[in-house]
Chain A
């Protein structure tokens, strides 16, 4: 289906990120298939024939605010019904350290419906197709991840409607998480430290003497004095040479000590980006990490620095969340490399002295280091300085639950019991939904 340009889905405003992931190399001679709409019900006349785009506009036109919505949702709980609002897909913070998160309040109306993901037999499976090609012949390729500028799962001309998005900053999200989903407040913020530094600057003012004359302030003071003395008559032109200047009219800047707020916490986000993580495990881990990030940001009133580390068999630090979220590589997995890199960074930058340090690691549980011989010592070293280490395992659906390497060696090490206040493990399925992910955060950060 060749969509006309103006039929292209309306993209949420904030997505224009210059470095879209590179498109895979396609095999010459086959079609590139961007999207497959195999349900007749996504097609609607207005979008399809009349090329009317999805209406643009925030849902706030109808709903007062996110707070109001959450307030109603809270009332449900009081009335004895489970909450319905999920805070939905959280789109990543922008580049350059902007703490921007798109909060999309979503909900679903539960009914008795057949499970669409369930496929019992081959009959009736697959999608419709037309054109040439013998049975068994590959006719097209479709990137697994949607490319920039293509929505996933939206109908022609955006049959499903663009998200009524709401921009909120990560701080607000942290607030919502803390208040509405009763995430615990941080009680013990780790070792007591001086959280401020002092710098000296010419910021204070003093009358009569000082290091630097503040001319503007002095002139103002001179005028004021002369008004008080009745030497200025507004009816006539003002002759400044007539002004009297008192010694105390001179205002100087003086050197003074200033509090300089520093970040109180550093959060390391670590993620396995090996081949096995692609798709759902990544979604789960990254969603959780955005929320943790937001929550810590709220807890520390914005004074948080975050560092992002990706690893497969090697670890590397990346600059921003976007890269963190979007990178992928096909390869093996060595969890220890990421932990080692954290230890190195902490040591080199001497972070342990001044910061509360949090380390969150997301993985699908695969590790070539099956017994944790390398990982466990690194973890033990991290525990000497970290306020909390949280390991999230998003289990692949094809594995046996509870049988991943990381889970086995962490449990085997006994650290989870012995150092319960320092390290936590949360294991969930790769298809975990938002309530479960939030529950996972509670598991990771509760006292």
Chain B
């Protein structure tokens, strides 16, 4: 891997200036590397993070198909990674004009990484640096513990889609609580009352002592207050830590829960495993916003590479070359879902609508088609509006809020479906619906959405870890339950239970509809299979899985 040459770097810096002029904002520094096939061999299994920890599964071909993008929520062929400074990768024989286009695209991504609020938890650190430290930690552990390190990585990774990303985000965005430090809360609310069960006058004395300490010494008063307590109750610090260090347990973050509450991991000989769980969790959290903003991120980058390229004075004579590449990237496929194309068109659409003041009560209450078409208040706030969109939304909100009938109709979008022509062994694709609601539902269906599984804190105790899958109309992949629970049992040290919903029976429609060649299928709403659901509980105990009805 080597840095791009000075000539190309100068082009990049020129692109940055022009991008800043139109309002994009990003750090000054960025690193651009030329990558060869050989580099790609090493980088792509590590999802383009050069410093990612080693793990044998990265080296083996991963089984394709089944739920692939749910399992691996990161694309190994991204051109830019969200590090500080941002690192981007280039083919070594790109002509200058193509680099201009790609640089604008990359700058669009960097702007998105550094301004979209879903990335907020990644803003303070350089992930490449962290990953390098983690890689070394894991290498060291591997030299001590051998293949058990890989087992722990495996088990931790099997739960890495069950991290409380939204909780982490919420903590990031919640204004600092104007209350007492967690340790003080714990001491007065739990330790004194539940553990020591002190009498009221002792409790009040402690409060007075605390107030006095803080009043006399605003800086170190708290430590001064705790000094005698720590001397008298050496167990206090450990108990506080065990209670989650003041974190309120929400039961939504499986990995963090195991780190905080597993007795097994807390044993001296097993404490090293927690380090690995932390690393896996952190890595997962790092990738979460990327997969949840794919359409927006690619749409935003495409919007800007198109806009800025056409304005760039340095690329005269290459408009046609650009048009060819750009249309391949941003054209809507006849059948399929291209995030570049969809996202970019949506940004253009939103900008235009906002320019005309259409995101207003006035416009929304208009029903007359002609009036809607002509509606234009000339507010001209489109640019501001799309910048706000890129800052505040993720794919779900983007799609859910802005895909509307005008957008679908204008871009001639539809939902396609296919039927099998058995005679000729071809799938026949047909237009199923041109309604915006259907299109929106179809796109939402494709979005990354791991199952919602929480820990039932009431039923979880010394005996068992109790997981509850909140059913959302889709069952879990059954074949994966065994090994996932096996790993969880290992990390928890005791039995683990999972409550989920499964199909009890499916009533098939009576007969298959005959399809005439050349004709679309007849809509067959009554032919829907009827599904009966049942709630089941899996129990993993001593590496044996059993299942019972709830």
Measuring CB to CB, which residues of chain A are less than 8 angstroms from any residue of chain B?
1-4, 24-27, 30-31, 33, 35-57, 59, 61-63, 69, 72, 75, 79-82, 84-86, 88, 104-118, 120-145, 153, 157, 159-161, 163-165, 275, 278, 328, 330, 398, 433
Contact = CB atoms under 8 A, between A and B. Distances in A.
A108 B508 CA distance: 31
B478 interface: yes
A203 B58 CA distance: 55
Nearest to B59: A62
A136 B432 CA distance: 6
Contact of B331 (A1, A31, A275): A1
B94 A50 contact: yes
Shortest beta-carbon contacts, A-B, top 6 = A44-B77, A45-B79, A124-B445, A129-B416, A40-B339, A55-B40
A41 B416 contact: no
Nearest to A133: B431
Nearest to B424: A24
A62 B484 CA distance: 27
A122 B89 CA distance: 41
Interface in B420-455: 420-434, 438-439, 441-451, 453
A275 B422 contact: yes
Given A52-B91, A112-B476, A37 B432 contact: no
A117 B479 CA distance: 13
B151 A79 contact: yes
A59 B59 contact: yes
B417 A106 contact: no
Per DSSP, chain A at the interface is: loop
Contacts of B447: 40
A363 to B, nearest CB: 18
Interface stretch (B61-69, B171-179, B362-370, B377-385): B61-69
B90 interface: yes
A109 B154 CA distance: 8
Contacts of A84: 154
A46 B63 contact: no
B429 A42 contact: no
20 contacts: A41-B73, A45-B80, A45-B105, A52-B40, A57-B38, A59-B61, A106-B64, A110-B481, A112-B453, A117-B66, A128-B415, A129-B336, A130-B333, A131-B412, A136-B432, A138-B429, A138-B519, A139-B416, A142-B426, A278-B425
Nearest to B418: A142
A128 B342 contact: yes
Nearest to A7: B328
B273 to A, nearest CB: 15
Given A109-B62, A114-B477, A121-B528, A129 B425 contact: no
Interface residues of B, number: 128
Contact of B520 (A117, A138, A140, A164): A138
A120 B473 contact: yes
Given A39-B337, A41-B291, A117-B66, A330 B423 contact: yes
B422 A129 contact: no
A430 to B, nearest CB: 15
Interface in B49-93: 56-57, 59-73, 75-80, 89-91
Contact of B336 (A36, A41, A80, A122): A36
A64 B56 CA distance: 11
Per DSSP, chain B at the interface is: mixed
Nearest to B420: A144
Contact of B335 (A33, A111, A116, A125): A33
Nearest to A276: B422
A356 B384 CA distance: 80
B448 to A, nearest CB: 7
Contacts of B337: 37-40, 127-128
Contacts of A56: 37, 41
A127 to B, nearest CB: 5
Nearest to B63: A108
B152 to A, nearest CB: 12
B363 to A, nearest CB: 25
Given A135-B433, A136-B431, A159-B75, A115 B478 contact: yes
Interface stretch (B155-163, B186-194, B230-238, B311-319): B155-163
Contacts of A137: 430-431, 520
Nearest to B443: A128
A51 B441 contact: no
Contact of A115 (B450, B477, B508): B477
Contacts of B44: 54-55, 161
Given A118-B474, A128-B336, A128-B443, A107 B60 contact: yes
A23 B38 CA distance: 36
Contacts of A107: 57, 60-63
Contacts of B94: 50
A103 to B, nearest CB: 11
Which of A42, A126, A138, A142 has the most chain B CB within a 10 Å cutoff?
Answer: A126
A44 B63 contact: no
Contacts of A51: 91
Interface in B489-543: 508, 517-520, 523, 525, 528, 531, 543
Nearest to A158: B77
Interface string B172-213: 000000000000000000000000000000000000000000
B37 A55 contact: yes
A41 B75 contact: yes
Contacts of B159: 111-112
Contact of B426 (A53, A123, A125, A143): A143
Contacts of A112: 159, 161-162, 450-451, 453, 469, 476, 480-481, 484
B303 interface: no
A378 B211 CA distance: 97
B508 to A, nearest CB: 7
Given A1-B338, A112-B484, A433-B479, A45 B426 contact: no
Contacts of A108: 62-63, 66, 71, 480
B169 interface: no
Contact of A44 (B62, B75, B328): B75
Nearest to A58: B41
B75 A43 contact: yes
A49 B90 CA distance: 10
B425 A143 contact: yes
A253 to B, nearest CB: 54
A110 to B, nearest CB: 4
A44 B334 CA distance: 19
A164 B105 contact: no
A447 B332 CA distance: 58
A320 B99 CA distance: 49
Contacts of A120: 473-474, 531
Nearest to B474: A114
A115 B525 CA distance: 23
Given A36-B336, A41-B69, A130-B414, 20 more contacts: A33-B429, A48-B329, A49-B79, A69-B60, A84-B154, A107-B60, A111-B158, A111-B450, A111-B480, A112-B476, A112-B484, A115-B476, A126-B417, A127-B337, A127-B429, A128-B333, A131-B334, A135-B431, A144-B427, A278-B425
